[in-house]
A and B are shown apart, each in its own frame.
Chain A
Amino acid sequence: MTLMERMAMTDQPLLRVEGLTKRYGQRIGCAEVSFDLYPGEVLGIVGESGSGKSTLLSCLAGHQRADLGRIVYDGRDVLAMPETERRRLSRTDWAYVHQNPRDGLRMGVSAGGNVGERLMAVGARHYGEIRGKAADWLARVEIAADRIDDRPSAFSGGMQQRLQIARNLVTGPRLVFMDEPTGGLDVSVQARLLDLLRGLVRDLGLSVIIVTHDLAVVRLLAHRLMVMKSGRVVEQGLTDQVLDDPQHAYTQLLVSSVLQV
């Protein structure tokens, strides 16, 4: 199914963002960001360091409170809902993959426990079933079954990141936030992870917002692209269009610099 077909099936965006603004004192974190995200769509956010990508993502995921703007998820006003409900969303419908797996994993808990946590958080009370699902998910992210009782501290960086992804996807979220998920990994490890991510996104029909400074990552994963500079969106559109025919001078610079690499 192509993106266009998917979008035609449903004209309701899964996530609608309007005029989202976050300041740190006088400094702008991100300003007046607006976009729609449709079910099954992958939106890439690119921009140089300090352009507001992480700020935007953490405001969307509710880790920080935006100063202004609206976030509507599946018809519900996220900023107006009580914290209980929002935190529940973030344990069920949403997932957040941190750049540093240490921020997204419990390093003192076994791989199986890490994957099982979200299941237990939403009420799973059958050990055998929790363990079975954890084993399933470890296999899906290509972690050997006999590592289920090992702690993530014994894992390589790439494995930790795959574990973090399994831990996030086990409850079947619909919307996944990722902040530089391949950052800090070796190039070959990155390629394997991207491959895995692409497969999971396609198979599960996930909607994803992925932040990266790596244009190769968005080229591979993102249907649509948003380019940020100094906290503002300077250009957005279909990924291939933006990358092959950038309109904004800043995007042109970004694209050319990657082409030179």
Chain B
Amino acid sequence: MTEQLDAGAYNFAYLDEQTKRMIRRAILKAIAVPGYQVPFASREMPMPYGWGTGGVQVTAACLVPEDRLKVIDQGADDTTNAVSIRRFFQRTAGVATTEATAEATVIQTRHRIPETPLKAGQILVYQVPIPEPLRFLEPRETETRKMHALEEYGLMHVKLYEDIARHGQIATSYAYPVRVEGRYVMDPSPIPKFDNPKLGNNPAIQLFGAGREQRIYALPPWSRVESLDFDDHPFRPSKAPHRCDLCGAGHSYLDEVITDDAGGRMFVCSDTDFCAGRRARGHRGRLAAEASAPPPHPSPTRGEGGAPSDGLAQGGAALASPPPRGEGLGAGGAGPEGTA
């Protein structure tokens, strides 16, 4: 497959121009109606659905030869999923790639929004496993469509009510639902709720692609995005109540990393580019000295944010929704090369 994907064997960015036009039309419509899920005819991609084929198709439709592409998975540029997608576009589009958020023109992501604030002109493409925020309580597609059309969103609050009734507070910590421009309720993909505040008032274009479910939706720059909540249980973005042990950052989203068999653990920025940048500028965390300089960024056991700071500690962390495993590394262990 590696040979098949060499530039020249395929159209620029793999998809043919007609398909890209079709996807661009869906993207334009999605931008025109913020938060609305636009159906599109998802194509077979040379990777399984679990690998973010929706995001890949959106990225393919957006790329131009001058672009500089960054791909992250759980905040990291070096996971198998991120590496495979980056390599895919290097081969099929020949575009430059980067790990620096500030230098990228297009960023494809799974499960995170970069810590470094985005700028006008950048496009952030999310891989989405389940685009329908109402799905968990209303499985009928005909009914959820009607609910969106008629703005019948009471069910979303039923979900939050159930959270509080069961856990004493809103335990949803990933894919936390938002209302866009006071109109459509949207699933922001399984990003931690810590990232929700970055969805709104963002100068970049944010595009969401769901391959298996064939939906594209979008947040145009500077959209108003509100996380759903109750007056007496307001939305609170949360993270592990620690600083990064490598760079000392106190306001970045952290992964908990097991360091040895004796229960040793450390907290590190999930955004590897952000963490490396801080260390390069001389910031040091609690364990930065122990790890020989410059320490390789350890791989987290999984993309958990550690114990959330807002009181979920006693058993709460286990109850918080884990990131769905449908999209990304969870589906099949082999990379695209291995499965094609």
Determine the residue in chain A with the shortest Cβ distance to B156: A120
When distances are taken between beta carbons in the complex, the residues of chain B under 8 Å from A83 are 150
B261 within 8 A of A: no
In the complex, B318 has a CB within 8 A of chain A: no
Quick one: closest B residue to A112, CB to CB? B165
Whole-angstrom CA separation of A230 from B215 in the bound complex: 47
CA distance A132 to B155 in the complex (A): 19
Asked if residues B137 and A108 are in contact (CB atoms below 8 Å), the reply is yes
Closest to A123 in B: B154
- Docked complex: A213-246 residues within 8 A CB-CB of B: none
CB neighbors of A among B117-162 (8 A): 137, 150, 152, 154-155, 157-158, 161-162
Interface centre among B152, B154, B161 (most CB of A within 10 A): B161
Whole-angstrom distance between the Cβ of B228 and the nearest chain A Cβ: 9
Contact mask for chain A residues 120-149; partner B; CB cutoff 8 A; 1 contact, 0 none: 111001111011000000000000000011
A117 → B minimal CB distance (Å) = 5
Chain A residues contacting B233 (CB-CB under 8 Å) are 127
Please tell me if A109 contacts chain B, counting CB pairs below 8 Å.
Answer: yes
Query: Interface digits, A194-215 against B, CB 8 Å rule (1 contact, 0 not)?
Result: 0000000000000000000000
Measured between C-beta atoms, what is the minimum distance from A190 to chain B in Å? 30
Task: Select the residue from B152, B158, B232 with max chain A CB neighbours within 10 A.
Answer: B158
A113 interfacial contact with B, CB 8 Å: yes
In contact, B230 and A117 (Cβ under 8 angstroms) = no
Q: Do A117 and B232 touch across chains, with their CB atoms under 8 A apart?
A: no
Chain B residue numbers with a CB within 8 Å of A87 are 150, 152
Interface string of B300-337 (1 = CB under 8 A from A): 00000000000000000000000000000000000000
Identify the interface centre among A108, A112, A125, A148: most chain B CB within 10 Å of its CB.
A125
Cross-chain contact of A127 among B137, B154, B164, B166 (Cβ < 8 A) = B164
Q: Is the CB of B137 within 8 A of A116?
A: no
B164 touches A117 (CB 8 A): no
B157 contacts A125, CB within 8 Å?
yes
- Contact status A113-B158, CB under 8 Å: yes
A69 to B137 alpha-carbon distance, docked (Å): 35
When the two chains form their complex, are residues A113 and B230 in contact, meaning their CB atoms are under 8 A apart?
no
Establish whether residues A121 and B154, one from each chain, have CB atoms under 8 Å apart when the complex forms: yes
Within 8 A of A (CB), among B254-294: none
- In the bound complex, CA of A117 to CA of B165 (Å): 13
Residues of B within 8 A of A127 (CB): 161, 164, 230-233
- Cross-chain pairs A/B with CB under 8 angstroms, 12 sampled: A84-B150, A87-B150, A110-B165, A112-B161, A117-B158, A120-B157, A121-B154, A125-B157, A125-B230, A125-B231, A127-B161, A149-B166
Give the interface of A toward B (CB within 8 A): 83-84, 87, 91, 106, 108-110, 112-113, 116-118, 120-122, 125-128, 130-131, 148-149
Q: Which 5 A-B pairs have the closest CB atoms?
A: A121-B154, A120-B157, A127-B230, A120-B154, A126-B231
Given contacts A113-B162, A120-B158, 12 further A-B pairs with CB under 8 A are A91-B154, A108-B137, A110-B165, A113-B165, A118-B154, A120-B155, A121-B154, A122-B154, A126-B230, A126-B232, A130-B161, A149-B165
